[in-house]
């Protein structure tokens, strides 16, 4: 019987490894796809060093028309809106309205076909790509936690950050409690091979990682996951604090974010339908009222 059980164990154990292997392979393929997309971008003439200041920049879309492929309908059909330097601007709209595409165009993952996009008053096409990417911080909706320690996760894109920079980013993103709770503090392994972080913590880690690169404009695709009250409050405080120092453009999923925003851009069907504060839009725009009632996560 023991021999049989041992045999069974050897038979079953590799299945777990296979599943893990398949997950890793899938992640690897996604990374290769992303690298391929980056490789396919038009070549940049000269790489210019990132600016030493982190002064906030604004941006402007003017009559932007964009289609992902020639034979596809335009996703942006004349998008126009302005974000002044500093402060919090929220992008809202139904699924498929073109919000994420705004981020993709700003990052120059794709090039728009018509209209103009400026960042800091300068045509986006005139920015050397490394300089543009250095100016932008991008926090994804489900920001991944990388295999490694929390410190490695935070310094991933800012190897030259000092210990002071690191401490400051942790405090600004209200991660001190997390660091204090982890058995080896910043040197604790996190992610699927270490301590698992909640959705709210993961997003704040991603914000801290982005802040360590001193962005002049932070693009934030807000987490849709339900957060507990503490994480909800922390995320709200962090967004408000970051917006007091730099420009933040957020694809908003939370009522607290839109109510705190300096301006909200309502997108619909590849265009901008309305711009205003939460109170103005609730009073004026039917679609916004509907979104506020149905789409935004409570609190």
Extract the tokens encoding 193.
């091979």
If one asks whether residue 121 binds ligand ATP (CB under 6 A), the answer comes out as no
Site string for ligand ATP, 206-225 (x = CB under 6 A): --------------------
Q: Is 253 in the site for ligand ATP (CB under 6 A)?
A: no
Stretch of residues binding ligand ATP (CB under 6 A), selected from 19-27, 98-106, 272-280, 285-293: 98-106
Residue 259 found at the interface with ligand ATP (CB under 6 A): no
All residues at 6 or more sequence positions from 290 whose CB lies less than 8 Å from its CB, including other chains: none
Examine residue 100 and tell whether it contacts ligand ATP (CB under 6 A).
yes
Q: How crowded is the C-beta side of 191, counted as CA atoms within 13 Å?
A: 17
Assess 271 for contact with ligand ATP (CB under 6 A): no
Compute φ and ψ for 268, nearest 5 degrees.
Answer: -155, 130
Residue tagged active-site, from 37, 114, 163, 222: 222
Q: How far is the CB of 225 from ligand ATP (least distance, A)?
A: 15
Told to check if 101 binds ligand ATP by CB under 6 A, we report: yes
Q: Give yes or no for a contact between 57 and 135, defined as CB atoms under 8 angstroms apart.
A: yes
CA 148 from centroid of its chain's CA atoms: 21
SS3 content of the chain, % helix, strand, coil (to 5): 45, 20, 35
Q: Is 99 in the site for ligand ATP (CB under 6 A)?
A: yes
Burial of 40 (0-12, 13-18, 19+ CB in 10 A): exposed
7 vs 68, beta carbon nearer ligand ATP: 68
Is 55 considered catalytic here?
Answer: no
Beta carbons within 10 angstroms of residue 207's beta carbon:
25
**Distance between CA atoms of residues 200 and 230, nearest Å:** 9
What residues pair up with 83 in beta bridges, in sequence order? 59
- Lookup: tokens for 60: 């402007």
Return the H-helix or E-strand segment holding 27.
helix 2-39
Q: Which residue has the tokens 């995320």?
A: 235
| Contact call for residue 95 and ligand ATP (CB under 6 A) | yes
Q: Which stretch binds ligand ATP (CB under 6 A): 1-9, 91-99, 132-140, 170-178?
A: 91-99
Q: How many residues belong to the site for ligand ATP (CB under 6 A)?
A: 10
Considering only 75, 205, 243, 261, the residue that binds ligand ATP (CB under 6 A) is: 75
Least Å distance, CB 133 to ligand ATP, is: 18
User: Does 28 sit near ligand ATP (CB under 6 A)?
Assistant: no
The yes or no reply on residue 93 touching ligand ATP (CB under 6 A) is: yes
Residues that are catalytic: 222
Residues that bind ligand ATP in the complex, under the rule CB under 6 A = 68, 75, 93, 95-101
């Amino acid at each position: 019987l023991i021999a049989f059980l041992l045999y069974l164990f050897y038979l079953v154990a590799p299945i777990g490894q296979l599943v893990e292997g398949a997950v890793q392979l899938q992640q690897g393929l996604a990374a290769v796809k992303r690298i391929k997309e980056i490789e396919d971008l038009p070549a940049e003439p000269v790489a210019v060093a990132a600016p030493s200041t982190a002064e906030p920049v604004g941006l402007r879309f003017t009559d932007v028309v964009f289609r992902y492929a020639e034979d596809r309908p335009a996703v942006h059909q004349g998008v126009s809106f302005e974000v002044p330097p500093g402060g919090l601007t929220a992008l809202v709209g139904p699924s498929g309205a073109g919000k994420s595409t705004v981020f993709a165009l700003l990052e120059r993952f794709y090039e728009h076909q018509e209209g103009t996009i400026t960042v800091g008053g300068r045509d986006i096409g005139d920015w050397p790509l490394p300089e543009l990417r250095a100016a932008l911080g991008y926090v994804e909706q489900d920001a991944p936690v990388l295999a490694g320690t929390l410190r490695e996760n935070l310094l991933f894109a800012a190897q030259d950050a000092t210990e002071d920079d690191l401490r400051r980013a942790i405090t600004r993103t209200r991660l001190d409690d997390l660091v204090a709770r982890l058995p080896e503090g910043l040197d604790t392994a996190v992610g699927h091979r270490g301590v698992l972080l909640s959705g709210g913590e993961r997003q704040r880690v991603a914000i801290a990682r982005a802040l360590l690169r001193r962005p002049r404009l932070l693009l934030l695709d807000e987490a849709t996951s339900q957060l507990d009250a503490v994480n909800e409050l922390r995320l709200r405080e962090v967004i408000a604090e970051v917006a007091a120092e730099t420009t933040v453009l957020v694809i908003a999923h939370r009522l607290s974010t839109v109510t705190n925003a300096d301006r909200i851009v309502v997108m619909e069907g590849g265009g901008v339908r309305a711009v205003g504060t939460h109170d103005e839009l609730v009073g004026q725009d039917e679609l916004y009222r509907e979104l506020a009632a149905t789409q935004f996560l409570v609190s």
